[in-house]
Structure 1
Amino acid sequence: MLREPTTTPTLAEPTAIWFDTHYDSKSSGLYCIEQIKSYVLEDEHAFEVDEWRDADLVHLNTIPFRRRDVGVWRSSKPMVVTQHGGYHWWRSRRDLLERPDHRIFLLMRAIFRLTSRRPQRIGFSTEYTRRLAVERGGVPADRTQVIPLGRSEEYEDKGPTDTADPFVLVVVNNRNPRKNVPTIVETMAELSDVRFVLPGKMWADYPHDLPSNAEVTGYVAEETLIDYYNRASALYLPTLYEGFGLPFVEAMACGTAVVTTRRGSPLEVCGDAAAYVDDPMDATEHAALLRRLVEDDDYRAVLEARGRERAEAFSWEKTANTYLQVYDDVLYQ
């Protein structure tokens, strides 16, 4: 594993960079690479090119595995990767085989084992995901580095928790098994006298009835989401696996208590600024912990304060500065 930068970097020479932002649909990975790009391009020696063939260095959004990656993978262009998630390394081979819609992940594993030897540097957002990739995926350890993701400066503590009309916020964008959605629904039913606010498009298509205390909002603008974070008694994400978890950082920055599990990376990201359930599947335990956060102002205030402090460690500027140092190491050192 490679060193972290100790100073704000500037590229040694003018450098043409191609960023892999050519996606057909929006994703959290695309959002992250766009944030990194915007800060990288503030460096006086960094500039973007539209074609990878014109670049001094290419920055990919994943280890190459798609058909459209073949050209750049076979080229000699210096390559840096931001690798997101790691679900395909986390699930066992048997688990993946049991779900026909997940068998593609086995193919990804095999391809990654080969193509991960091509990039000069692969950035992982947490040590947990880096270790999974090395130990289960055969990714060369000497090409990996932990580079935490950041957060938008818009996510900040702008107002007090709403104690007059308390609610729990749930930010989940898909029904992947790792999101533990059935347990979320059970917990809402257990805590029937507390409102749960569910932003995002996913809940409108949920195939089962939701409890009456579930408030499905549909898509909301970022400023509305930030307002929800600020007013919520807690962010509730009982994940079974999380590679990083941008909502954790966003919530902490807004002074919102976080309730989650120790599965995957939450402990590494949140530290002592979150409340952790012991059993990820026990809705009764989850409901009791959420009720304490709704009703116990002192307990909630401790987590809110810890979260605000913890969130200071994460910014897109820091993430971009680390990648600038990586570029410099790859090209000029």
Structure 2
Amino acid sequence: MTALGNFADGPPVASTRPLKICLLGYRSHPYCGGQGVYLHYLSKALVEAGHSVDVISGQPYPELDPRVTLIKMPGLNLFEEENPTRALKLRHLLSWTDFFEWWAKLTGGFAEPYTFGRRVAKYLRKRGRHYDIVHDNQSLCYGLLAIERSGLPVVATIHHPITRDRQLALDAAPDWRFRLLVRRWYSFLRMQMKVARRLRHVVTVSRQSESDIAEQFGVDRQQIQLIYNGIDTDIFRPQPDIERRPLRIMTTASADQPLKGLRFLLHAMADLRGQFPDLELLVVGRLQQGGATEQLLGELQLQDCVQFVSGISNQQLVDYYASAGVVVCPSLYEGFGLPAGEAMACGVPVISSDGGALPEVVGDAGIIVPAGDSQALARALRDLLVDDKQRAELGERGRERIARQFSWQLAAAHLVDYYREVIGAPKRNPVPRLAVPAPDASGAEAA
């Protein structure tokens, strides 16, 4: 843990002038995952605190507060192309960045973090001098080192090291050919490891992630600052006008990502159907046709009681939470655990695995079971489904815990205090120093 202080505990320190902050995200739409959610809410909380915020993002672009300026940094956006092979135009051949992004996609790699870094480093060399600080959101690209060398202070958020995702994907691979494809896709991790070790200032969002970044990426703990994420408690709140369905279980999962542990929840559902014939599961995520989850639904004969929804608004998500009797977070690993926090903010009782940082978010306001243990999950669900009083108590405790410890206003204030330490800006009071326990697809280094 860096000597700049531990902002996970205690109030932030008041400071002086507003800052000019540049946030970076290589793909930032909130429906793409937690990284887009992080950028949306952090930028909003920073402008509400009186700072000037620009967001530089590749496609798909973020949804931002009107007070936040979006600077579009388009790439080829090949994952939206119907035929990526034909997406390369003559003008792209004049750009190494464009050509490399196209070639990596065709050969099974993921080059967007690397190519985004090249583009943004070039942009900031020309137009970035007015910023006080540049804050990257998990791209961990070589371009950050170039930006830092140019004299701009750089902070990078690592939500969790994606080595965990890679290992789980390798473990789930059916044969050696698929494992080769997985290794090719995740080859950008070599870049991320190198950059994370060389950056001076790294932020992470949980104690679990801090430990994993040090272990998996080899980052010195003195470089890492712990600042928890926030939850928008104005949007994610109880909806007393919506009737709860006690036998509706809800979860958020990318259906065929092994990391999310959906298969263990499906096995638990199958165990409980005999006792609770009206049990239903609502999955916020897209079902991949012909994928492993669809096959498992058929094997367990759950097609009639499992519904998938995707592309929904925040308000629709809140309404779904309000209708659920229980929310389950069965992930094998989470760097923070945003779905658990959102459900708790909505006053819904939560059963969570102990994967990654989930216990840090849930605390004593939910039920924790071992990750990957469908029988333990089934027992916890059985006990909670028949206990109206416990469900009500957990819902109230969850809402109180999130409102007290995980607001975006608190997260933004801690980050601003950290920014000022990094850039050496004056402070009214010193920050207390508290100890916390505890060429491939990524490209060449030159940006």
TM-score (structure 1 length as normaliser): 0.87
Give the partner amino acid of 1:179: K
What are the superposed Cα offsets for residues 3-60 of structure 1, whole Å, 9 maximum, x if unpaired?
2355455553453221103527533212202211111123335443755323221010
Give the partner amino acid of 2:400: E
For the 8 Å contact 1:151–1:315, the answer to whether it is kept is yes
Q: Distance in 2 between matches of 1:142 and 1:327?
A: 16
For the 8 Å contact 2:354–2:371, the answer to whether it is kept is no
Deviation, 1:164, is: 5.6
Secondary structure of 2:135's counterpart equals: strand
For the 8 Å contact 1:10–1:43, the answer to whether it is kept is no
| 1:294–1:121 Cα change, 3 Å | same
Matched, 1:85 2:160: yes
Partner of 1:305: 396
Partner of 2:77: none
Matched, 1:293 2:384: yes
Moved more, 34-43 or 90-99: 90-99
| 1:181–1:105 Cα change, 3 Å | same
Equivalent of 1:168, from 241, 249, 266?
249
Q: Distance in 1 between matches of 2:219 and 2:255?
A: 27
| 1:122–1:135 Cα change, 3 Å | same
Partner of 1:4: 6
Partner of 2:334: 242
What is the correspondence of 1:314-333 to structure 2 with a 5 Å cutoff? 314-333=406-425
The number of residues matched between the two structures is 330
Q: Distance in 1 between matches of 2:416 and 2:39?
A: 13
In the alignment, structure 1 segments of 5+ residues that lack a partner are none
Partner of 2:349: 257
Matched, 1:184 2:265: yes
For the 8 Å contact 1:63–1:115, the answer to whether it is kept is no
What are the superposed Cα offsets for residues 275-321 of structure 1, whole Å, 9 maximum, x if unpaired?
12246232x43223213222211222232222122212111111111
Q: Distance in 1 between matches of 2:309 and 2:169?
A: 37
Secondary structure of 1:187's counterpart equals: helix
Q: What percentage of residue pairs aligned between the two structures are identical?
A: 25
Q: Distance in 2 between matches of 1:222 and 1:304?
A: 19
Secondary structure of 2:239's counterpart equals: coil
Deviation, 1:182, is: 2.0
Deviation, 1:258, is: 1.1
For the 8 Å contact 2:260–2:333, the answer to whether it is kept is yes
| 1:85–1:233 Cα change, 3 Å | same
Partner of 1:195: 280
Deviation, 1:266, is: 1.1
Give the partner amino acid of 2:162: Y
Partner of 1:222: 314
In the alignment, structure 2 segments of 5+ residues that lack a partner are 55-68, 72-122, 426-447
Give the partner amino acid of 1:59: H
| 1:58–1:164 Cα change, 3 Å | closer
Deviation, 1:168, is: 0.5
What are the superposed Cα offsets for residues 186-242 of structure 1, whole Å, 9 maximum, x if unpaired?
223223320111233x22646325311112234322212111212211111211111
Q: Distance in 2 between matches of 1:308 and 1:94?
A: 34
Give the partner amino acid of 1:144: I
What are the superposed Cα offsets for residues 87-143 of structure 1, whole Å, 9 maximum, x if unpaired?
315766995796334325764443333212443321111000111111231112111
Partner of 2:99: none
Matched, 1:268 2:348: no
Q: Distance in 1 between matches of 2:168 and 2:330?
A: 23
RMSD: 2.9
TM-score (structure 2 length as normaliser): 0.66
For the 8 Å contact 1:234–1:258, the answer to whether it is kept is yes
Partner of 1:140: 220
| 1:104–1:310 Cα change, 3 Å | farther
Deviation, 1:70, is: 6.2
Equivalent of 1:156, from 214, 237, 240?
237
| 1:70–1:302 Cα change, 3 Å | same
Secondary structure of 2:35's counterpart equals: helix
Instruction: Indicate the structure (1 or 2) with the bigger Cα radius of gyration.
Output: 2
